[in-house]
C-alpha cells in the first residue's frame, strides 16, 4: 500500500486565526459603540482576549512563514525537485538548505534575520529596514515580546519600557474606543481592533513584499484581509 506524506505547515492557519480575532474585535466594537462606562465581563473578557490573540497569532504566522520557506527549499534539495523552483532560486537552494540545517542546530537567529538571510542569498542584499513594511513588523514583534515576556511597571514611569513602546507605536493604529481616562497605552488601551488590523496587515505586507522580491508565489496568496466585516 502506497501512502502519501504531507508536510504540515501552519503559517496560513496562524494568519487566518489573527484575521478571525481582528474581525471579532471589529464586531464587538460595532455592537458596543454606544456603551458608556466600564465594559461588562461578558464583553471585556472576549474583547481583551481577541486583542491579545490577534497580535500573538500575527507574529506566529510570520515566524512560521520564515521556517516554511527554508524547510521548503531544503526539502526541494533533498527530493531533487529543484526544477519546480525559479532558476535564480534553485541555484541557491543548496546554500539555503545548508543554512536551514544550521538554524535548526546551534545557530539561532531571529525571524527577521531569517528573511534577511534568504533575501541576501537570492539577491545579494537584505530587505530594506528603513521603511515600511519592515518598521511596522519590527514594532509588532516588540509588542508581541512585551506581551509574552510581560514585566509589570508603574504607569507613572515615563522612562520605562511600556512608555518607550507607546512612543514606538504612536500613530500606527487607533487605541480601543473603550479607553477609560487615565488608562495606560500598554497593556490596557492598545489592544483593540485598530491594533489587531494593523498587526495582520503589517505581517501580510511584509510577507507579500518578500515573496514578490524573490519571485516566488506568496504563502498568503489569495488571502482575504478585509477585517471590517463580521467573522463567519
* Structure confidence at residue 80 (pLDDT): 64
Cβ(179)–Cβ(189) below 8 Å:
yes
**Does pLDDT of 109 surpass 70?**
yes
Residue 77 pLDDT more than 80? no
Residue 159 lies in a domain: yes
**Is pLDDT of 135 > 90?**
yes
The answer to whether position 150 is within a domain reads yes
Mean pLDDT of 208-217: 93
pLDDT band with cut points at 50, 70 and 90 for residue 210: very high
pTM equals 0.91
- Given a cut of 70, whether residue 79 has pLDDT beyond it is no
Indicate whether 6 belongs to any domain: no
What's residue 5's pLDDT? Answer: 64
Q: What is the DSSP string of 74-133?
A: HHHHHTT-GGGS-HHHHTTHHHHHHHHHHHHTT----HHHHHHHHHHHHHSSPPP-SSTT
Please report whether residue 106 resides in a domain: yes
Give the range of the structural domain holding residue 94, as residue numbers without chain letter. Answer: 11-214
Asked, for residue 231, whether it belongs to a domain, the answer is: no
User: What is the rounded CA–CA span in Å between residue 206 and residue 202?
Assistant: 6
The pLDDT of residue 65 is 96
Separation of CA 118 from chain center: 18
Count the domains in the chain: 1
Residue 4 has pLDDT above 60, yes or no: no
**Which tens digit of pLDDT belongs to each residue from 156-200?**
788 899 999 999 999 999 999 998 878 899 999 999 999 999 999
User: What angle do the packed helices 111-123 and 41-78 form, to 10 degrees?
Assistant: 40
Q: Are 133 and 112 in contact (CB under 8 A)?
A: no
The pLDDT confidence band at residue 101, using thresholds 50, 70 and 90, is confident
- Residue 152 belongs to some domain of the structure: yes
With a cut of 60, say whether residue 2 has pLDDT above it: no
At 33-75, the pLDDT tens digits run: 998 888 999 999 999 999 999 999 999 999 999 999 888 888 7
Is 221 within the bounds of a domain? no
User: Which of the four pLDDT bands, split at 50, 70 and 90, describes residue 83?
Assistant: low
The set of cell numbers assigned to 180 is 477609560
Q: Is 224 a member of any domain?
A: no
Banded model confidence at residue 6, pLDDT cuts 50, 70, 90: low
Amino acid at each position: 500500500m502506497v501512502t502519501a506524506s504531507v508536510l504540515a505547515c501552519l503559517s496560513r492557519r496562524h494568519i487566518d486565526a489573527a484575521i478571525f480575532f481582528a474581525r471579532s474585535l471589529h464586531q464587538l466594537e460595532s455592537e458596543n459603540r454606544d456603551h458608556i462606562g466600564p465594559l461588562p465581563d461578558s464583553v471585556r473578557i472576549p474583547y481583551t482576549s481577541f486583542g491579545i490573540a490577534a497580535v500573538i497569532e500575527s507574529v506566529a504566522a510570520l515566524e512560521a512563514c520564515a521556517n516554511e520557506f527554508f524547510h521548503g527549499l531544503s526539502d526541494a534539495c533533498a527530493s531533487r525537485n529543484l526544477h519546480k523552483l525559479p532558476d535564480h532560486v534553485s541555484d541557491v537552494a543548496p546554500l539555503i538548505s545548508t543554512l536551514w540545517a544550521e538554524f535548526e542546530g546551534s545557530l539561532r537567529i531571529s525571524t527577521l534575520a531569517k528573511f534577511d538571510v534568504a533575501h541576501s542569498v537570492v539577491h545579494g542584499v537584505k530587505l530594506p529596514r528603513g521603511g515600511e513594511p519592515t518598521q511596522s513588523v519590527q514594532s509588532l514583534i516588540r509588542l508581541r515580546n512585551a506581551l509574552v515576556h510581560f514585566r509589570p511597571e508603574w504607569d507613572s514611569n515615563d522612562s520605562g519600557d511600556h512608555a518607550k513602546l507607546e512612543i514606538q507605536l504612536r500613530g500606527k493604529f487607533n487605541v480601543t474606543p473603550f479607553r477609560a481616562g487615565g488608562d495606560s497605552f500598554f497593556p490596557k488601551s492598545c489592544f483593540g481592533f485598530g491594533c489587531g488590523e494593523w498587526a495582520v496587515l503589517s505581517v501580510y505586507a511584509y510577507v507579500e513584499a518578500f515573496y514578490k522580491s524573490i519571485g516566488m508565489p506568496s504563502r498568503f496568496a489569495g488571502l482575504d484581509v478585509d477585517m471590517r466585516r463580521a467573522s463567519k
